[in-house]
Amino acid sequence: MILVLGRKQVVRVDGARFNMMLRLLRFSPWVGLVVACLVGCRNAVDSGGEYPIGAELAQVPAGLKKQILHVLEERFGSLDAPRFELPDPEHAAELGWKERVAADRLTHGMSVYRRYCAGCHGVAGDGAGPASPYLLPKPRDYRRGVFKFTSTPYGSKPRRQDLIRTVRYGAKGTAMPDFKFLPAEDLQPLVDYVIMLSIRGELESLLARVAADYGEEDTIEPEVIWEQADLLRAAWDNAALQLVLPVTPRPAYTDESIALGRQAFLENECFKCHGRDGRGQTAWLDPRFVRRQMELPESQREPLNYDAWGQIAPAADLTAGMLHGGRRPIDVYRRIYSGINGTPMPGFAQKFADQPETIWHLVHFVLSLTEGRTFSEATSDEPQAGG
């Protein structure tokens, strides 16, 4: 077993020690960050050659399931021999587009993914890598086509630059490390491969839902299949044109702006999830706290949120200084303006349509919390120095 803790730091770990480290993950997120860096554990991420069948497709009658799997194999290949060609040549002219990634580029992306990503995200992109059971938050399941930290509106696919940024800089406060050392010749094919895994997984789910309208002896017409594929193509293409830009210029970062942001934070009841002190619901990440909560009647438990993947999604601790989606002012602006895909965090674009500058004030309030500023409960709008 090999853990790579940097570009040149390689540590060999025997199986018993590795299992012990995984157990420790349940109690220490810092150990989680170390184990999440395992990148050379090739035996642990052997694929078996075939994609696992998703829950929706598993419910489809055998004949229709076979047809869907055949279509997916034609267009995406197998786990060990990936392909990315949509649609097939017969329908390309009809739909007016063809998405194709050169086989050698995709194979290279697969090798980079197996080396650096599959230990957490799984070889099929289902978030079920060997480290996954020990990590909170859980590694992303790409198959749903949902990506949390984007520069696009809520519900949209990410721009390619969003995926590159996430890989390059990681997600602070989670087990997703940064991969700043990856050269462009590795990073770009890796992103191609992740997009392929996402489109394949989402197309599988879409076709499984389409199959619900067919009888057991029926077959799905080719044009219906490529209509679904075209929906996905359009969603990814449109993302490139949906960059969220601030509605108003950013005002000066002053005590007055911070105070206005805190006022908006309270008036709009952001504290119901993030707490009046901004510390969020991160207690839910502590297994001991979870056990105590589960022992209480449901009506007496602390509020708990879930995400689109069915995982616990506690509101972020804004005081920790580790905002998952980035600490740049524009990053925070987009989280507030658009919300966060797949989570209970809503967007406030419509809420503040008549006072758009309020979003910047909220940004400044959040940034002040990440810097360690505290606020008196007695005065809701006066910032105080301290940490």
Residue 181 CA to residue 7 CA, distance in Å, equals 7
Higher pLDDT: 324 or 44? It is: 324
pLDDT in tens, 275-323: 888 998 878 778 788 888 888 888 888 777 888 888 888 888 999 888 8
Task: Write the CA distances from 178 to 26, 187, 326, integer angstroms.
Answer: 22, 12, 12
Among 30-44, 53-67, 164-178, 286-300, where is mean pLDDT lowest?
30-44
What pLDDT sits at residue 303?
76
- Distance of alpha carbon 337 from the chain centroid: 18
d(CA 325, CA 306): 18
- Lookup: tokens for 294: 């589960």
pLDDT at 46: 58
- Containing 12, the helix (H) or strand (E) segment is strand 10-12
pLDDT at residue 43 in the model: 40
Q: Specify the range with the lowest mean pLDDT, choosing from 47-61, 67-81, 351-365.
A: 47-61
Closest of 259, 226, 205 to residue 376, by C-alpha: 259
The mean of the pLDDT values for the chain is 83
Select the more confidently predicted residue: 219 or 35.
Answer: 219
- Global pTM reads 0.82
Q: What stretches of 84-151 show up as alpha helix (H) in DSSP? A: 89-95, 103-116, 118-121
Which among 20, 16, 23 has a CA at the least distance from the CA of 287? 23
Token pair belonging to 192: 């191609």
Contact 300, 319 (CB under 8 A): no
pLDDT band of 124, cuts 50, 70, 90: very high
The yes-or-no verdict on residue 115 having pLDDT over 90 is: yes
Residues 313-342, mean pLDDT to the nearest whole number? 92
Share of the chain above pLDDT 90, in %: 59
CATH 1.10.238.10 fits 255-384, yes or no: no
φ and ψ at residue 82, rounded to 5 degrees = -70, 150
52 phi, psi to nearest 5 deg: -65, 145
pLDDT, position 164? 96
Q: Which fold has domain 45-239?
A: Cytochrome Bc1 Complex; Chain D, domain 2 (1.10.760)
CATH 1.10.760.10 residue window(s) in the chain: 45-239, 255-384
Percent with pLDDT over 70 in the chain: 81
CB 82 within 8 A of CB 193: yes
Neighbouring C-beta atoms of residue 88, cutoff 10 Å: 15
Distance of CA 360 to the CA centre of its chain: 25
Q: Mean pLDDT, to the nearest integer, of 178-201?
A: 95
The span from the CA of 343 to the CA of 340, in Å, is: 6
SS3 26: coil
- Half-sphere exposure of residue 238, counting CA atoms within 13 Å on the CB side? 10
Q: Residue 20: pLDDT above 60? A: no
Give the span between the Cα atoms of 248 and 263, in whole angstroms. Answer: 19
The pair of structure tokens assigned to 382 is: 């006066």
Helix (H) or strand (E) holding 10: strand 10-12
pLDDT of residue 48: 61
